[in-house]
Structure 1
C-alpha cells in the first residue's frame, strides 16, 4: 500500500469526524457541506481501493492474506457512505454523530489495512 495515501485517508477521516462531532455537539444535523466532506473522504477511499486492487493484480501480496486485505479495503470504502446514508435517515444531531463515528471507524480500518499489508 502507499503509505502517504493511507495517512491522507486517515487524516481526512479524522477531520470529518471532528467536524461532524462538533456539529453534533452544537445540536445540528448533517448539512450539505458535511456531505461534500464525506464525498472527499469517499473519493480518497476509492483511490485507495483502486490502488490496492492494482497492487494485488501486479502480483504483490498482503502479509496476512489477500482475502482479509480485500475485505478490509471494501469495508473502508463503504464505511463513510453507509454512515452518510444513515445520517439522511436520522435528521438530528444523531445523524451528525453517526458520520463522526463512521470517520473514526474508517481511521481505525486504515491502521488495520496498514498492518495487514505488512507495515
Structure 2
C-alpha cells in the first residue's frame, strides 16, 4: 500500500469527523458543503481501493491475508457513503454525528489496513 495515501485518507477522515462533529455540537444537520467533504474522503478511499487491487494483481500480498485485506478495503470504501445516506434520512444534529462517527471509524480502518499490509 502507499503510505502517503493511507495517511492522507486518515487525515481527511479525521478532519471530516471534526467538521461534522462540530456541526452536531452546534445542533446542525449535514449541509451541502459537508457532502462535498464526504465526496473528497470517498474519492480518496476509492483511489486506495484501486491501488490495493492493482497491487494484489501485480502479485504483492499483504502479511495477514488477502481476504482480510480486501474485506477491509471494501469496508473502508463503504463507510462514509453509507453514513452520508443515513444522514440524508436524519436531518437533525444526529445526521452530522453519524457522519462524524463513520469518519472516525474510517480512520481506524485505515490504521488496520496499514497493519494488515505489513506496515
The TM-score, its normalising length taken from structure 1, stands at: 1.00
2:5 alignment partner in structure 1: 5
Instruction: Give 3-state SS (helix, strand or coil) of 2:60's partner.
Output: coil
Secondary structure of the residue aligned to 1:79 is: helix
Q: By how many angstroms is 1:4 displaced?
A: 0.2
Q: Distance in 1 between matches of 2:82 and 2:117?
A: 24
Q: Aligned partners of 1:41, 1:31: CA distance in 2, in Å?
A: 16
- What RMSD over aligned residues (CA atoms) do the two structures have, in Å? 0.2
Aligned residue for 1:62? 62
How far 1:57 sits from its partner (Å)? 0.1
Identify unmatched segments of 5+ residues in structure 2: none
Name 1:16's counterpart in structure 2. Answer: 16
What's the TM-score once normalised by structure 2's chain length?
A: 1.00
Corresponding residue for 1:93? 93
The count of aligned residue pairs is 119
* Aligned counterpart, 2:80: 80
Shift in Å, 1:51? 0.1
2: CA distance, partners of 1:21 / 1:84:
14
In 2, Cα distance between equivalents of 1:79 and 1:53: 18
1:103 aligns with 2:114: no
C-alpha separation between the residues in 2 aligned to 1:42 and 1:81? 7
